[in-house]
Structures are given as structure tokens and as C-alpha cells.
Amino acid sequence: MSFLFFAFIFNFSHASFAYTLKERRSFQHSIIDYRSSLNPGYEKIRRKKTKYIIVHTSELGRKMTLKVVSNGKRLRDGRRTPGGHAHYVIARNGRTYRILDNKYVADHAGLSMWNGETDISQISIGIELVGYHYAPLTQSQYRSVGMLIDILQRIYGLDDRAVLTHSQVAYGNPNRWFRKNQRGRKRCARNFIREKAGLGPTWSYDPDVRAGRLMADPQLSKIFYGRREYYAKTDDANLITQSNTAWSIAGEDYDNQTTVYKFPGGRIYTGDQISDKIGWNRIPAKTVVLLDQEGSISLIKRDDPIKTISDSLTAWSFAGQAYNLKTTIYFLPSGRIKVGSMISDWDDLPAKTKLIVGYRGPYKLDKGRSAYQTAGFKYKDRKTIYYLPPQKLLTGDQINDFKGLPKGTLIFLPNTL
Ligand SMILES: [Zn+2]
């Protein structure tokens, strides 16, 4: 904590961790050059000035984040963007990727405004942190982003007030919730805790809201300009409640076909279906909202107790904060079985890893112990999970011949206490 002491004495105007030259150099050497993966269709234009550093959360795992920022994403009208959506990507383990040279404009801020200036992409650097705006970022990410910001501040002569999150600068046109232009189009990086990145004091108000250019977003203004402890809260932040509306969770993507609403009963709707089929005021409480679900909706739809990790569905998408509990059990493609407490991060599991959430076990089947003796009358239940070595996972209702289960079969039971 000695950095705080220094910060008080010298009143540093930028990154108060004050990394040494050696630390900054070694960090710079560790940056992975990902520029060759940039979509060749992205037109590189030199940025005329650099006034801000904008922090984002990608709402995806590492693999898909790198793909989307480099190569582009699908827009709501079906067209694709040509990529170039960040200068840097920082993975959960702190590994930092260079997507685009600092000197070029990255297309990262969209419709945005700060202190009266619009089109923030033209005057800023964009850093994408792998993770969700409703889930905690890692210590390694904070260290890397702190170091990167320190380096960029020195290059461009920027103070800590120049570092903002995308959710602070984005704004939206009027919609069903607001009659005027307003903040809240993006929720990106609203969980970014500046102090953890070594950043000092910043704006205590939103200059565009104060000047009457934009309406405030109640939730974001509480997070950024209210009491500081508010924004550490990430529990259940992608669940619909009375105060956590589709708009508070998804921002402008609320009615997008890549936004998925999973109702408590298991029914699934995409954002573009809600208006006709349900109505925006009638989404039940505890509905889970998942963003950026391109091509994975059929996987979410399967209301199977055995979930499968894919490029766009991570362990966090299925388990949320429970990803690292002992009751979340992972079956890796390698054949290994791990419980959540053995996992370093939800983004470290390979695609095709299967998981079950809220289970206890394993209970081993053998001659003296049948499935019925282990699971009771629920032995044929869909929620009773059987692991058949070397790699097969089945639910109780998928098994006909319980006597033919191989040696070493394991049973997992729902953890209903
Ligand atoms: Zn963003």
C-alpha cells in the first residue's frame, strides 16, 4: 500500500502505482502482436489527437473477443462490421494483445459524447477487457490495464481524468424508456474499479448531463458519480428485477436478436421477439439476459442439466458466480473431472467442456451399490447425472440398461438441501 503514501505526498496526476521503467518495458515486451489478424477490410486512418483512454468489457471469452475485435461483428441489420474494434485486448490472465497500432483510429466507442465532444473513437484509445460487465474482472487484468494506461498516459500526456469507461461516454437516441438522448446505451465496463488499476480521482459528475445535453441513466450515474462502494456489486446483475430492466442490463442491445432472454421456466426468447410475443413490461423477474449470442441460441435452448461450453457460451454464462464452487462440476474434453474450486478462471476451460451446476458427488457404482441404492427412486430422473468412463455423460432418463453400466460409473445428484 505504499503507492498510496506516495500519491498523497507528490499528488501524482496520473497512474499512482508509478510503475518503474523496467516494469513498463517488460510489460511492453510481453504484449502479443495480434495485428496480422486484423480484418484486411478495416481502413486504417491516423488519429489526429488523443484525449481519452476508453475501457470496455467484451461480454465474451478470450477467443471470441479476439475474433470480434479483429474481424468484426454482425450488426442488427445483418451486415458485418470490418473489425478494428479496439487497440488492445486484455485476457483474464492479464495477457495483453495488440490489435491495432496506437496511431490509428479504432472503431470502439460508437455513438458517444464527452464534455461536449462527440465521436469519441476519433480522439481515443480503446482497451477491451475480456469479461462481462456484471462479473468481476481479475487482479491480473487490473495489473495489465494499469500498466498499459500508465504507458499510454506518458505517450499522450494524459491524466487520470482522461481514462473513462465506454458506459460513461456512450449515449443513445430516444427509445421506449427515454424521450431524449440519454446515457445508458452501453453498460460496458461499469464494473471497472479504477482504484484497482491504480487510477486516481476522476470526474465527479457527467459534464454532458450537467450541461443538459443528455439525460442521465439512473443506474450508471449512481455507479460512476454516486457512492463508490455501489459498483463492486456484481451479483445477479444479468437477472431481470423490478429495477434491473432489459435496458439496464443490455443497453441498446435489449431488442437485438443476439440478446437472449432465458425465462425462469426455461423458455427462451431473443431480443427481437420480446415486443411481439411477450411485451417489454411483462418479462418475468429472474429472467437471465445473455448478450452477443450469435449462433449459440440452440445450445442455450436445450434445457439439459448437462451444459456444454462453446466459443460464445462460457462457464460464466451457465454458472455465473457459482463457476468456482465445489458444486459446479466440469468434465473436460481430456477426460479429467474438476470441481469449480479447482478452476483458476471461468475463461480457462476449453470449448466442449461439459458442466453441471448445483451437484454433489461423485458416488461410485459397484457390485454392492446399484443406481437405485445411490439415487433412490430418482435414479431414472433427468436430473440424475451418470458419468460413464472414459468420457460419456448421460442423464438418468437416457439410460435403459442400468445393469449394463460400465465399471467405474459415477453418479452426481442435484444438491437439493
Ligand atoms: Zn464497449
Check pLDDT > 80 for residue 329. Answer: yes
* DSSP result, 143-210: HHHHHHHHHHHHHHT--GGGEEEHHHHBEE---SS-SS-EE-S--TTTT--GGGGT-----SS-HHHH
- What is the model's pLDDT at position 6? 42
- Distance, in Å, from the CA atom of 367 to the CA atom of 341, rounded to the nearest integer, reads 31
Check pLDDT > 90 for residue 416. Answer: no
- Give the residue-averaged pLDDT of 66-85: 91
- Give the residue-averaged pLDDT of 251-279: 87
Ligand 1: distance of its center to the CA of 168 in Å?
10
pTM: 0.85
Ligand 1: distance of its center to the CA of 59 in Å?
9
Ligand 1: distance of its center to the CA of 360 in Å?
38
- What is the model's pLDDT at position 78? 80
Q: Would you say the C-alpha torsion 355, 360, 362, 364 has a positive or negative sign?
A: negative
Contacts of residue 13, defined as CB under 8 A and 6 or more positions apart, other chains included, come to: 159, 160, 200
- Tens of pLDDT, residue by residue over 396-414, are 999 999 988 998 899 999 9
> With bands split at pLDDT 50, 70 and 90, how would you rate the model's confidence at 296?
low
Ligand 1: distance of its center to the CA of 350 in Å?
25
- What is the model's pLDDT at position 110? 95
- What is the model's pLDDT at position 33? 98
By the 10 Å C-beta count (0-12 exposed, 13-18 middle, 19+ buried), 389 is classed as exposed
- What is the model's pLDDT at position 417? 55
Check pLDDT > 90 for residue 189. Answer: yes
- Interhelix angle for 139-156 vs 21-30, to 10°? 110
- Tens of pLDDT, residue by residue over 199-240, are 988 899 999 999 999 999 988 998 899 865 544 455 567 888
Residue with more model confidence, 151 or 369: 151
Ligand 1: distance of its center to the CA of 13 in Å?
25
CA distances to 11, 25, 145 from 151, rounded to whole Å, are 19, 9, 10
Check pLDDT > 80 for residue 293. Answer: no
Partner residues linked to 392 by β-bridges: 388
pLDDT above 90 covers a percentage of the chain that reads: 63
- Give the residue-averaged pLDDT of 243-267: 85
Ligand 1: distance of its center to the CA of 172 in Å?
13
